Amino acid sequence: MLCSVFAFSMAYAQDAKKTKNAKETVTFYVDGMDCAGCQKKVEKNISFVKGVTDLKCDLATKTAVVTYDSNKTTEKKLKDAFKKIGMPVETVKP
């Protein structure tokens, strides 16, 4: 009995993940972003990564705030995308 309740809630949680409003926001620290050119590079490339819906870069703090659809991409995939353009990032804990 307890087991089936647990299974049900797990299935429910997975279902909830698939709803259309699956927007997540993550802040990355971009160590290599040290001038306007780098910022542009990030903006030009990361904005078009699959699943990314919004991107805000801040040069002063070297951060990039990425809003993405978690049905289409993951934090790990985003990190890989940064790595691909030569700018590895660290997730900033909220």
Using CB under 5 A as the binding rule, whether residue 94 contacts Cu ion is answered as no
Q: Which residue in 7, 11, 16, 35 binds Cu ion (CB under 5 A)?
A: 35
Q: Which residue in 30, 38, 55, 89 binds Cu ion (CB under 5 A)?
A: 38
Least distance (Å) between residue 30 CB and Cu ion: 10
Q: Which is nearer to Cu ion, 50 or 83 (by Cβ)?
A: 83
Least distance (Å) between residue 46 CB and Cu ion: 15
Using CB under 5 A as the binding rule, whether residue 10 contacts Cu ion is answered as no
- Are 28 and 63 in contact by the 8 Å Cβ rule? The answer is yes
C-alpha to C-alpha distance for 41 and 57, rounded to whole angstroms = 11
Tokens standing for 65?
């705030």
C-alpha to C-alpha distance for 62 and 45, rounded to whole angstroms = 16
C-alpha to C-alpha distance for 82 and 92, rounded to whole angstroms = 15
Residue numbers at the binding site for Cu ion (CB under 5 A): 34-35, 37-38
